[in-house]
Homo-oligomer: A and B are copies of this chain.
Amino acid sequence: MKKYLFFDDYSEGAHPQILEALIKTNLQQEAGYGDDIFSGEAKKLISDIIKDHSADIHFVSAGTQSNFIILAGMMKPFEAVISADSGHINVHEAGAVEATGHKVITIANAEGKINPRKIKEVMEFHKDEHMVKPKVVYISHATELGTIYTKNELESISECCKKNGLYLYLDGARLGSAVRSRESDLTLPDITRLVDAYYIGGTKNGAFLGEAVILVNDEIKPYFRYHLKQRGALLAKGRLPGVQFRELFRDGLFFRIAEHLNNMADRLACGIRDLGFGFLVKPCTNQVFPVLPDPLIRALDELYGFYVWEKVDKASSAIRLVTSWSTREEVIDGFLNDLKRLVNR
């Protein structure tokens, strides 16, 4: 029995305040399939926060679902999406995008991120009908390595996309943690202005499940509920994500949870750094990738749950530690104490 699991940010249920909201609304009869009053109010709250009242908002149950439905909805059969080779859609979605008929064109990532130069190279290479036609750029923010884009970076990608007739889509599974990172100069309204579509992840930010899909570009708004229904994403009790997102955005809970994730990750990273260890990439959101000696990792594994991410050199590897809404300071401090003890053993 491990002391604590740092595997991911979805090892527990929902934040107590969300549970409370579900209890309170439970008996109220409402229309199905997202036409309930709770979903309506949640959409209104999100519109206010992203400062775009003409954006279309839909709630779905999971991130892979958001990604492939939105991307498939943006493309004609012969069009393709550009992604970092480390992108979730390229590696960890079991070919969900390809299953809708579209190629994922990959770009070598730099700490999980891509840039306009690489996008332009892809555009220059794809020049006639013997090749797919690139139509969307996919980025994740925070990335799969916990890194984030700066405002400057996102603006240059956005501009490059506009120049090349490309949609820009942002996977926000961990968007809360990203926008509340102390390294971040990007706000939700900034992102809304710079991308064509994105989603705000609820599952990894305190909800039981739920992602808020935000369609900004008018071209991709029409008939989106048909896409949702056809791909199995229209929940009969659409109130379930609705109530949760209403609660997340009613009084700032979404951001408080995001800040908690980051604070706990920061506490963890500082403690590890103080012990003299480095990181695969500089930590700034709720995923921390310390590089540790392999024997230490094995010892740590007896006490805590986490993934060994990759070999770094002969004697050491990077591990991934993720904080969640339920991670308490005491847990972090306990982990650091154990780590210190094992180091000094």
In the complex the two chains form, is B99's CB within 8 Å of A129's CB? Answer: no
In the complex the two chains form, is A232's CB within 8 Å of B232's CB? Answer: yes
> When chains A and B are docked, how far (Å) is the Cα of A245 from the Cα of B296?
40
Closest CB pairs A-B (n = 3): A65-B232, A13-B26, A78-B226
> When chains A and B are docked, how far (Å) is the Cα of A221 from the Cα of B145?
34
Question: Closest approach, in angstroms, between the C-beta of A174 and any C-beta of chain B?
Answer: 12
In the complex the two chains form, is B237's CB within 8 Å of A208's CB? Answer: yes
Which one of B78, B94, B129 lies within 8 Å of A78 (CB-CB)?
B94
In the complex the two chains form, is A225's CB within 8 Å of B104's CB? Answer: no
Q: Mark A87-100, 1 if CB is under 8 A from B, else 0.
A: 00001111110111
Segment 5-64 of A: residues with Cβ below 8 Å from B: 5, 7-8, 10-14, 16, 19, 22-23, 25-32, 61-64
- Work out how many copies of this chain go into the complex: 4
Known A27-B326, A235-B209: A94·B10 in contact at CB below 8 Å: no
In the complex the two chains form, is B32's CB within 8 Å of A11's CB? Answer: yes
Asked whether A335 is an interface residue with its Cβ less than 8 Å from the other chain, the reply is no
Asked whether A277 is an interface residue with its Cβ less than 8 Å from the other chain, the reply is no
Question: Chain B contacts of A203 at CB under 8 A?
Answer: 236-237
In the complex the two chains form, is B235's CB within 8 Å of A93's CB? Answer: no
> When chains A and B are docked, how far (Å) is the Cα of A147 from the Cα of B115?
34
Question: Closest approach, in angstroms, between the C-beta of A138 and any C-beta of chain B?
Answer: 15
Question: Chain B contacts of A98 at CB under 8 A?
Answer: 80, 98, 101-103, 132
In the complex the two chains form, is A226's CB within 8 Å of B8's CB? Answer: no
In the complex the two chains form, is A131's CB within 8 Å of B92's CB? Answer: yes
A204, closest chain B residue (CB): B236
In the complex the two chains form, is A93's CB within 8 Å of B130's CB? Answer: yes
Known A13-B26, A130-B92: A229·B64 in contact at CB below 8 Å: yes
In the complex the two chains form, is B237's CB within 8 Å of A13's CB? Answer: yes
Among A28, A93, A239, which residue has the most Cβ atoms of chain B within 10 A? A93
